[in-house]
């Protein structure tokens, strides 16, 4: 990792933009997935990203500039996908660490954007999608979700990855970098639905949830 960064700095003199896009999908019920299978997904999707961040920040701090694009998923904002609990957990982690990171590196002139795509037509859902080594027959909803993603959604994703790259380029040019960048109409619909659901639940339970102060 450090050797690649050193080579880039030697050739270009600086590192302006980093896109953290390493990751893979894991589909399986939480009961089905082993500790190893779950940790492996975190190792790549979360700790792999952290490794890049730790290595590139010294250069960005030195030059007092830089823009980190951390690729999460709409599944890192809403976890309503049967069988994708661990994968969603890794992407929720990307959201959390990136929000904190943005506050930590802002004094150095470094920007952070969390990219949360919907369904893009890549090879993400191909046969490389990891599955549990010990599936449990009772989880019919999980098997149905896996089948739908691999047989119906795969190859029919509505979003174009080349257009996503164009959005990245335009986002870099913005004077005020977005912290959250949701990509695709499908992502927007899912995010808006969760926000509405959360707002509704908060309002319904406000009288109870706000009754916890010592002086209440």
Write out the catalytic residue numbers: 87
Residue 42, H or E segment? helix 35-42
Q: What is the distance between the alpha carbons of residues 50 and 70, in angstroms, rounded to a whole number?
A: 10
- Contact partners, residue 177, CB within 8 Å, separation at least 6: 67, 111, 112, 113, 171
| 161 Cβ neighbours under 8 A, 6+ residues apart | 120, 121, 122
Could you identify the residue written with the tokens 């975190």? 42
Q: What is the DSSP string of 141-169?
A: HHHHHHHIIIIIITT--SB-HHHHHHHHH
DSSP letter string, 52-67: HHHHHHHHHHHHT-EE
Tokens of 2: 């450090």
Q: Using CA atoms, how far apart are residues 10 and 179, in angstroms rounded to an integer? A: 30
């Amino acid at each position: 990792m450090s050797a690649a960064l050193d080579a880039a700095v030697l050739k270009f003199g600086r590192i302006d933009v980093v896109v953290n896009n390493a990751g893979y999908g894991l589909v399986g019920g939480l009961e089905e997935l082993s500790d190893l299978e779950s940790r492996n997904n975190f190792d790549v999707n979360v700790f792999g990203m952290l490794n890049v961040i730790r290595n590139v920040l010294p250069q960005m701090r030195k030059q007092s500039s830089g823009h980190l694009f951390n690729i999460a998923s709409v599944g890192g904002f809403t976890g309503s996908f049967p069988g994708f609990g661990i994968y969603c957990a890794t992407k929720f982690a990307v959201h959390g660490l990136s929000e904190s990171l943005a506050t930590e590196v802002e004094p150095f002139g470094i920007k952070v954007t969390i990219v949360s795509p919907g369904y893009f037509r890549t090879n993400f859902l191909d046969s490389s999608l990891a599955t549990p080594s010990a599936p449990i027959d009772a989880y019919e909803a999980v098997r149905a979700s896996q089948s739908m993603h691999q047989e119906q959604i795969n190859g029919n994703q509505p979003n174009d990855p080349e257009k996503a790259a164009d959005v990245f380029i335009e986002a870099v040019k913005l004077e005020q970098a977005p912290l959250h960048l949701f990509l695709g109409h499908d992502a927007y619909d899912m995010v808006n639905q969760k926000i509405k659901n959360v707002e509704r639940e908060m309002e319904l339970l406000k009288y109870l949830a706000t009754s916890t102060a010592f002086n209440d």
